[in-house]
C-alpha cells in the first residue's frame, strides 16, 4: 500500500477527497503502427460493426464524465492535435470515414492511418461527445537505446524479450504466444470486451514483467538494462508531468488513453503523486 491507503481489488488505490482521479484506459493501437514488442493485428475500425462498438464504448466512458481527455501523442505537437480535433468536432472529418492527415506522431508515417487510431476513434470521439474544447497530447516519445561510449546504440527490445523468455528461469509471457492470444481475442470480441480483457491485472502485470525481463536479458552488457528501464521510466514520468500540467484547479477527473503496456508503471507513478489517484477502467467496461 502507498501512504496508508486502503487498496481495492487489482491493486488500485481508493481516491481521497483532495486527489484528482486519473482513469488509465489501456488500449491496443487501432491503426497498426507496429511499434511495440507485441503488436496486435487490428482489423479495420472504420467497418460498420466496429463503429457501432466504438459508439457503445463512448457511451460507457461518458458515464464517468471526465473533465479532461489525454492521449498518447507528443506534447510538443499539441497544435497539430488541436487542428485535427477541430476538424472532427466541426464535422469537416467524420469518425466513420477514411481521411488523409499528417499523423501527429513522429513514428507514424502513413497519412491514411491516423483516422483509425485510438486517439481519434476513442479520445477525440469521447471529448467531442462531452463538448470539450481540447484533447490534451501528453506523450514524450523516447527511443529505447543504450549508451556505448559517447554514441547511442539502438536496441531490439523484441529480440531481448524473446531471449528473456528462453534464458530466464521464471514464468514470463512468450511474446509470440501473447501476440497470437491477443489477436485471437480481439477478432472474437467487441472493442469494449477486448479493452476489458486487456486491462485485467494479469495482463497489465505481464506486460511490465516482460519489459523488465527483456531489459535485464542484456546483462552481458553491464547497465544495459538499467539504461533501457531508465529511458522507459523517464518517458512515463514525463507523461505524468504533462498530464498534471494540463489539469486546471477545477478538474476532478482525467481520462488518459494509453497503450496498455504503460498502465502498470503509470499506475505506480500516479499513486506516488500526492495530488492524483489512478483509477481502473474495468467498472466502466464490464
**Using one digit for the tens of pLDDT, what is the confidence trace for 104-126?**
666 666 777 899 999 999 999 99
Asked whether the predicted pLDDT for residue 202 surpasses 50, the reply is yes
Is residue 12 assigned to a domain? no
Is residue 181 assigned to a domain? yes
Asked whether the predicted pLDDT for residue 279 surpasses 80, the reply is yes
- The residue whose grid cell reads 503496456 is 261
Is residue 10 assigned to a domain? no
**Most trustworthy range by pLDDT among 140-149, 164-173, 256-265:** 256-265
What's the structural domain count of the chain? 1
What's the mean pLDDT when you consider all of the chain? 84
Tell me what pLDDT residue 103 has: 63
Beta strand pairing call for 253-259 and 20-27: parallel
Tell me what pLDDT residue 66 has: 98
Is residue 134 assigned to a domain? yes
pLDDT band per the 50, 70, 90 thresholds, residue 217: low
Is residue 6 assigned to a domain? no
Judge contact between 278 and 266, C-beta under 8 A: yes
Judge contact between 41 and 183, C-beta under 8 A: yes
Tell me what pLDDT residue 2 has: 40
**Beta bridge partner(s), residue 253:** 21
Asked whether the predicted pLDDT for residue 135 surpasses 90, the reply is yes
> Residues near 107 by Cβ (< 8 Å), separated by ≥ 6?
33, 35, 141
Tell me what pLDDT residue 271 has: 97
- Cα 110 to chain centroid, rounded: 20
Is residue 207 assigned to a domain? yes
Range of the domain at 86: 19-285
Asked whether the predicted pLDDT for residue 149 surpasses 50, the reply is no
State the average pLDDT over residues 190-212.
Answer: 86
Asked whether the predicted pLDDT for residue 191 surpasses 90, the reply is yes
More confident residue, 95 or 176: 95
More confident residue, 270 or 227: 270
Is residue 3 assigned to a domain? no
Is residue 2 assigned to a domain? no
What's the pTM?
0.86
Beta strand pairing call for 151-154 and 145-148: antiparallel
Alpha-carbon distance of 213 to 90, in angstroms, equals 46
Tell me what pLDDT residue 1 has: 34
Amino acid at each position: 500500500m502507498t501512504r496508508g491507503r486502503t487498496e481495492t481489488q487489482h491493486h488500485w488505490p481508493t481516491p481521497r477527497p483532495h486527489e484528482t482521479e486519473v482513469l488509465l484506459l489501456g488500449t491496443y493501437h487501432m491503426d497498426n503502427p507496429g511499434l511495440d514488442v507485441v503488436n496486435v493485428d487490428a482489423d479495420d475500425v472504420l467497418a460498420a460493426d466496429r463503429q457501432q462498438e466504438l459508439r457503445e464504448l463512448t457511451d460507457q466512458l461518458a458515464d464517468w464524465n471526465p473533465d479532461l481527455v489525454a492521449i498518447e501523442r507528443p506534447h510538443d505537437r499539441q497544435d497539430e492535435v488541436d487542428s485535427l480535433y477541430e476538424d472532427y468536432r466541426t464535422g469537416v472529418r467524420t469518425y466513420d470515414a477514411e481521411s488523409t492527415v499528417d499523423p501527429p506522431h513522429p513514428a507514424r508515417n502513413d497519412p491514411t492511418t491516423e483516422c483509425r487510431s485510438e486517439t481519434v476513434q476513442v479520445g477525440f470521439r469521447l471529448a467531442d461527445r462531452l463538448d470539450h474544447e481540447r484533447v490534451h497530447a501528453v506523450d514524450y516519445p523516447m527511443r529505447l537505446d543504450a549508451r556505448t561510449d559517447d554514441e547511442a546504440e539502438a536496441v531490439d527490445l523484441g529480440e531481448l524479450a524473446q531471449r528473456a523468455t528462453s534464458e530466464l528461469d521464471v514464468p514470463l509471457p512468450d511474446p509470440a504466444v501473447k501476440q497470437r492470444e491477443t489477436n485471437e481475442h480481439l477478432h472474437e470480441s467487441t472493442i469494449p470486451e477486448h479493452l476489458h480483457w486487456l486491462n485485467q491485472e494479469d495482463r497489465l502485470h505481464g506486460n511490465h514483467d516482460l519489459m523488465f525481463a527483456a531489459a535485464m536479458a542484456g546483462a552481458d552488457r553491464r547497465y544495459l538494462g538499467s539504461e533501457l528501464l531508465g529511458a522507459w521510466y523517464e518517458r512515463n514520468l514525463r507523461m505524468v508531468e504533462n498530464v498534471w500540467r494540463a489539469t486546471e484547479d477545477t478538474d476532478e477527473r482525467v481520462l488518459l488513453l494509453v497503450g496498455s503496456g504503460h498502465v502498470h508503471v503509470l499506475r505506480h507513478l500516479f499513486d506516488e503523486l500526492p495530488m492524483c489517484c489512478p483509477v481502473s477502467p474495468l467498472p466502466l467496461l464490464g
